[in-house]
Structure 1
């Protein structure tokens, strides 16, 4: 529920603007009848836009959040896309292998597989030979301070710098054909929206639930402003398999 509320004003569950989301999807240049898989789709913002850009594509979205998938289904119906997307409430790591996909997405959900390297292995298993992947993950924009690591509950080796992140995805059998490094303004828009949506909801719902939502918002804002702002980066790669 917290995540759903936090993303009310920024349904893209990553520090990526709509403009850059569309640019990344357009660069995929999918062929007619493409099959798309979104692992950890949330409310399926990426996949629904992909279906609009590629009118004969079909997609599967996978997530463990019933609320996120319900929001995705509602949005798909409103946009006339319900007949082209199937939504699956299951852990992404358990989604069965079937006919391979032309594009596999995993943006901001690499934790579902235990990290970036394991995510790339999973993506490759679902991808047709020479297919495309769209993968987004965090990296260290600059070396993290002890304060930032404490706020994040992270260790310095949990993430690499940008060069190291590129090396990880390419070491898994892919080549980067395009990418987008989120700008500070995108991060700020995402974080202000995330914390602001929760705060507004909390003020509109006085009582224990509102107090809990406000506490999460304030804790997250402190972690961002007094911890990782300008230190934590986010990059989204468009990748082509080399196998």
Structure 2
């Protein structure tokens, strides 16, 4: 049980595996107005940056669950580095079936709603761990501009234009599921660049060190096409944000 190697190659130097920057995560944490000791469950927690920095800066506690052995080990090391290993723990497991042993104050899935086969299923999964009156955090793409055709949608990692919604429609979708949207922090084009462009240098340096690796042709092909694809499609059409939700 693990992520394919290509993911950890691309993002081996990333602490955050989505287009939210450290500053935006700090803004999000402060915007929730939660007390020290707040308990957080983070499903698909990646390298643990959100939990670790919130534990350091806001006094939160919590658990992260991720399927990647590489990212889970990095999260544990980050907790030690920031001096919060006594407040957060990271579990290597499939987050798609994980429910907390005791209800938490914040249940989060930031940018990995495939664990619940979409927003509705992920909200239902998170609700099983959330105390009454708690906060749910969901990170999800949306269309900044509606793609004109399926080719454009596929270049933004969607099978069809209907896979994502415009921002107002996504917010209304949360309402249809029974939740108030009580806060949001959105990526912008610059933060998309920091997420995507940082992968290119990582891939190039990995290729220089590993020219004979079995994945070298795939990494080479991505490096040849990803910068233009990102500039033409992702940063123009695809938005991304974290939405704080409370049950009606």
The TM-score, its normalising length taken from structure 1, stands at: 0.91
Give the structure 2 partner of residue 207 of structure 1.
212
- Structure 2 runs not aligned, ≥5 long: none
- The answer to whether residue 107 in structure 2 is matched with residue 101 in structure 1 is no
Give the structure 1 partner of residue 77 of structure 2.
74
Q: How many residues align?
A: 241
SS at match of 1:82: coil
Structure 1 residues 171-216: Cα deviation after superposition (integer angstroms, max 9, x where no partner): 2232122112211111112110122211221123221344443333
Give the structure 2 partner of residue 237 of structure 1.
243
**Cα offset for 1:9?**
3.9
Give the structure 2 partner of residue 127 of structure 1.
130
**Cα offset for 1:97?**
4.2
Structure 1 vs Structure 2 CA RMSD: 1.9
Task: Out of 216-225 and 24-33, give the one that drifted further.
Answer: 216-225
Q: Whole-Å Cα distance in 1 between the matches of residues 212 and 66 of structure 2?
A: 30
SS at match of 1:60: strand
CA contact under 8 A between 1:204 and 1:210: conserved in structure 2? no
Aligned pairs for 1:48-63 within 5 A: 48-55=52-59, 57-63=60-66
Structure 1 residues 121-149: Cα deviation after superposition (integer angstroms, max 9, x where no partner): 11222111111122111011111132312
Task: Out of 87-96 and 134-143, give the one that drifted further.
Answer: 87-96
- The answer to whether residue 221 in structure 2 is matched with residue 228 in structure 1 is no
- Structure 1 runs not aligned, ≥5 long: none
Structure 1's consecutive aligned runs of 4 or more residues displaced over 6 angstroms after TM superposition are none
Give the structure 2 partner of residue 24 of structure 1.
28
SS at match of 2:128: helix
Q: Whole-Å Cα distance in 2 between the matches of residues 219 and 123 of structure 1?
A: 36
Give the structure 1 partner of residue 198 of structure 2.
193
**Cα offset for 1:228?**
3.1
Q: Whole-Å Cα distance in 2 between the matches of residues 172 and 97 of structure 1?
A: 22
Task: Out of 183-192 and 209-218, give the one that drifted further.
Answer: 209-218
The TM-score, its normalising length taken from structure 2, stands at: 0.89
- The answer to whether residue 13 in structure 2 is matched with residue 39 in structure 1 is no
SS at match of 1:123: helix
CA contact under 8 A between 2:179 and 2:246: conserved in structure 1? yes
Give the structure 1 partner of residue 89 of structure 2.
86
Give the structure 1 partner of residue 179 of structure 2.
174
Structure 1 residues 69-114: Cα deviation after superposition (integer angstroms, max 9, x where no partner): 0111111111111122222222112113421110111111111211
Give the structure 2 partner of residue 137 of structure 1.
140
**Cα offset for 1:7?**
2.5
Task: Out of 188-197 and 156-165, give the one that drifted further.
Answer: 188-197
Q: Whole-Å Cα distance in 1 between the matches of residues 178 and 7 of structure 2?
A: 33
CA contact under 8 A between 1:2 and 1:198: conserved in structure 2? no
Q: Whole-Å Cα distance in 2 between the matches of residues 97 and 48 of structure 1?
A: 18
